[in-house]
């Protein structure tokens, strides 16, 4: 069995969600069943880029993780694209045997048995601005598959008032899931600098929305990697 891998990079820090700031090596899978309007990783999503994806065995993936981390166990984040399209169970088994921890982020459209082996599963349903429609039955199946996962959280990106209202409704649907909100980044061209003032303004807008509504359940976070590196790939 081989895996389609768009890139493996790090160590760097996790830029968002429950593990923000944590030293991490990223394994970015190639392929996705979504085409979000504001996708910031089209190089790992669009099948037009499939010839740039490496075909790697689980052993080859983990060997590269070990090389990058100097053999010192840390968190490995499996992302995409949608990594749930593929079977990362062998990579997780190899890594955990060597002391590595595994996190995965997915939109919750495909459930896989290996979710239960993860240390952290981040489910990130896409709001209306994405142009996608969430299949809540599939999302619930992901929660069922992840019942033995150590930590399951939900992360939602917010671009506008419609997304914000949708996030509140989604949070009400899953009140037991720890929730992380972050302002969306519409500036996804890796060759252009990010407008840091605009990014700060988006974060301030979101903070003011939740505090005005006295909505104290979610944690509001920036996309830390965007503030530090912009849209540069591989960091």
User: Is 235 a domain residue?
Assistant: no
Is the N-terminal amide bond of 81 cis, ω within 30° of 0?
yes
Question: Which residues span the domain enclosing 67?
Answer: 3-229
User: Is 234 a domain residue?
Assistant: no
Sheet holding 101-106, edge to edge: 54-56, 3-13, 23-29, 75-79, 101-106, 120-123, 151-158, 179-183, 219-220
User: Is 197 a domain residue?
Assistant: yes
d(CA 61, CA 102): 13
User: Is 72 a domain residue?
Assistant: yes
> pLDDT of 169-200, one tens digit each?
999 999 999 999 999 887 766 677 778 888 89
User: Is 136 a domain residue?
Assistant: yes
User: Hey, which residues does 220 pair with through a beta bridge?
Assistant: 181
Q: Which of 3, 1, 14 is nearest to 61 (CA)?
A: 3
Range of weakest confidence among 12-21, 65-74, 117-126, 153-162: 12-21
In this prediction, residue 234 carries a pLDDT of 62
pLDDT at 229 over 80: no
User: Is 142 a domain residue?
Assistant: yes
In this prediction, residue 78 carries a pLDDT of 98
Report the predicted TM-score, pTM, of the whole model to 2 decimal places.
0.93
User: How large a percentage of the chain has pLDDT more than 70?
Assistant: 96
In this prediction, residue 187 carries a pLDDT of 72
Q: How many domains does the chain have?
A: 1
Q: What is the CATH number of the domain that holds 105?
A: 3.20.20.70
d(CA 34, CA 184): 17
């Amino acid at each position: 069995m081989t895996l389609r891998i768009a890139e493996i990079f790090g160590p760097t820090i996790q830029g968002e969600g429950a593990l923000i700031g944590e030293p991490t090596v990223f394994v970015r899978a190639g392929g996705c069943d979504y085409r979000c309007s504001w996708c910031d990783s089209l190089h790992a999503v669009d099948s037009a880029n499939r010839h740039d994806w490496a075909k790697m065995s689980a052993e080859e993936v983990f060997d590269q993780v070990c090389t990058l981390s100097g053999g010192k166990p840390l968190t490995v984040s499996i992302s995409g694209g949608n990594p749930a399209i593929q079977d990362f169970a062998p990579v997780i088994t190899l890594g955990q045997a060597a002391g590595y921890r595994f996190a995965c982020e997915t939109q919750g459209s495909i459930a896989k048995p290996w979710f239960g082996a993860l240390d952290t599963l981040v489910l990130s349903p896409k709001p209306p601005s994405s142009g996608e429609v969430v299949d809540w039955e599939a999302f619930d199946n992901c929660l069922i598959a992840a019942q033995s996962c150590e930590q399951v959280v939900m992360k939602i990106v917010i671009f506008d008032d419609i997304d914000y209202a949708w996030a509140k409704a989604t949070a009400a649907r899953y009140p037991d899931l720890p929730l992380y909100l972050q302002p969306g980044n519409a500036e996804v061209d890796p060759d252009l600098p990010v407008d840091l003032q605009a990014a700060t303004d988006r974060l301030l807008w979101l903070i003011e929305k939740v505090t005005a509504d006295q909505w104290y359940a979610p944690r509001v976070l920036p996309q830390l990697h965007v503030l530090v590196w912009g849209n540069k790939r591989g960091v």
